[in-house]
Amino acid sequence: MAVAMGRPFVIQPCLSSSLCFLSKNINKSSFGAAETFLPAKPSSTRCTTVVVHAQQRPTWLPGLDPPPYLDGTLAGDFGFDPLGLGEDPQSLKWYVQAELVHARFAMAGVAGILFTDLLRVTGIRKLPVWYEAGAVKFEFASTRTLIVVQLLLMGFAETKRYMDFVSPGSQAKEGSFFGLESALEGLEPGYPGGPLLNPLGLARDIENAHVWKLKEIKNGRLAMVAMVGIFVQAAVTHAGPIDNLIEHLSNPWHRTIIQTLANSGS
């Protein structure tokens, strides 16, 4: 039997003329003593041992038993998989990589939107609001040229990433990346590392870099939620995030998400 609170303790009736209740490792502040013996009526007894274990790992919902395939070894694993998408081990590996890539894109997207929106609002640069930036025509290249270049570059990067996922370490072999293999190192799938992508060397020992992996995936999940908020905000208010923030700060009690959604529906 498992519970999510309390410290481990053992109940053992003693094989003797009297029955004893023996508790170990119980909080003294709650029960007043480390060991308590309560006499009982003499009777013939049989030995029974009941072990209660405290929950050792945090879960997204306290007291919830995580699925057996989410054993806490993955970075950011809090047992959240209500749809059971990770039951298949191969699918779980792919979902881990997919979440990691989406998290990194979301972090880059949020940073880019906030930075350019701040430049626009302050008047430092004459820039379009972020959701209209894609319609801007550039003088140095046509839209068609930019699309082709982006498809080629992104296609190459994603193909290399997929090949490294299928065969870990294959993209770090000599001659597989125009002689730049040593600059990428190929620590493990999803973590290329090296001077180019890990210039500060924060996670050179990738197998023991659980803290850095946890920080990255937590910030990435927060960024994905932020991107959803920015999308909804733009669709409802037709303004950038900095504009919305300034409007809210100008009248915090009457310029909130509740009033904004109520006015948009009317």
Output the known binding site for chlorophyll b: 104, 184
What is the b/e burial string over 66-90, where b = at least 16 CB atoms within 10 angstroms of the residue's CB?
beeebeeebbbbebebeeeebeeee
Sign of the dihedral through C-alpha 214, 219, 223, 229 = positive
**What token pair was written down for 8?**
């481990």
Residue 52's DSSP bridge partners are 9
Q: Which amino acids are annotated as binding site, given as ranges?
A: 99, 102, 104, 184, 215-216, 219, 221, 233, 248
Which helix (H) or strand (E) segment holds residue 104: the answer is: helix 89-122
* 24: three-class secondary structure by DSSP: coil
How many CB atoms are located within 10 Å of the residue 134 CB? 8
Q: Which amino acids are annotated as binding site for chlorophyll a, given as ranges?
A: 99, 102, 215-216, 219, 221, 233, 248
Taking alpha carbons only, the member of 171, 152, 206 closest to residue 183 is: 171
**Cβ atoms of residues 19 and 40 within 8 Å:** yes
**What token pair was written down for 97?**
């990589």
